[in-house]
């Protein structure tokens, strides 16, 4: 039994897990348009092991946090696969410390537009100016500060959820599977703020 793993929340991370939740294959692809490569790379990886989608025990996807476009790439595929009756499980990067059983932590990540995002253990979130990141680090009393990718934020963080997933998949995926997690996509901002939609005044009377 194998499981496919997809993370498009920032770049493209694609992996194939065996029945013991160890990596059979794992790739990270940066600096590309993910939507243009995802299907080809999935096909290439599955073909390498003589597998099809129907042979998989399920699909694990990361549902954020991230930009609307990045998160929707994998979520859109996940919904298609669900229609095909293939089990889909999903989780957010900021849920990983809880999955690990951490007691005192906070998750942070770069949120674009000159801001950074925080998620606390109690579920409280915030967006802050990236220029204030240094003072945030100095004033945070928690034991561990997590982010998702090593190159995302300035120095000062030593815990990375992407590396937990890469180096210890058996710590995460069995729990996601057991709890049948299917977390909703998480974007840094509401869509009206992300896209700054402006209604055309000429259409108001139509």
Angle, CA of 130, 135 and 140, to the nearest 5°: 110
Alpha helices in 17-123 (DSSP H): 34-48, 68-83, 96-100
Residues 53 and 122 in one domain: no
Residues 27 and 45 in one domain: yes
Per-residue pLDDT reduced to its tens digit, 10-51? 889 999 999 999 999 999 988 667 777 899 999 999 999 999
pLDDT confidence tier of residue 101, bands split at 50, 70 and 90: very high
Residues 54 and 27 in one domain: yes
Q: Which of 28, 15, 23 is nearest to 61 (CA)?
A: 15
Query: Which domain range does residue 147 map to?
Result: 96-160
Mean pLDDT of the chain: 91
Residues 64 and 8 in one domain: yes
Q: Is the dihedral of CA 166, 172, 178, 179 positive or negative?
A: negative
Whether 44 is covered by a domain: the verdict is yes
């Amino acid at each position: 039994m194998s499981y496919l793993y997809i993370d498009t929340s920032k770049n493209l991370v694609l992996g194939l897990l065996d029945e013991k939740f160890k990596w059979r294959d794992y790739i990270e692809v940066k600096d590309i348009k993910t939507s243009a490569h995802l299907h080809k790379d999935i096909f290439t990886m599955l073909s390498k092991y003589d597998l099809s989608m129907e042979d998989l025990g399920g699909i694990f996807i990361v549902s954020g946090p991230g930009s609307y476009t990045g998160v929707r790439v994998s979520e859109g595929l996940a919904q298609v696969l669900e229609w095909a009756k293939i089990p889909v499980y999903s989780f957010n990067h900021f849920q990983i410390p809880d999955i690990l059983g951490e007691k005192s932590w906070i998750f942070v990540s770069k949120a674009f537009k000159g801001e950074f995002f925080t998620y606390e253990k109690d579920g409280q979130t915030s967006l802050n100016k990236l220029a204030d990141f240094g003072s945030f680090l100095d004033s945070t009393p928690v034991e561990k500060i997590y982010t998702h990718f090593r190159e995302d934020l300035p120095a000062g963080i030593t815990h990375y959820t992407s590396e937990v997933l890469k180096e210890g998949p058996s710590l995460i995926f069995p729990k996601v599977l057991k709890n049948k997690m299917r977390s909703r996509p998480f974007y840094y901002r509401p869509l009206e703020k992300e896209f700054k939609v402006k209604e055309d005044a000429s259409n108001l009377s139509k």
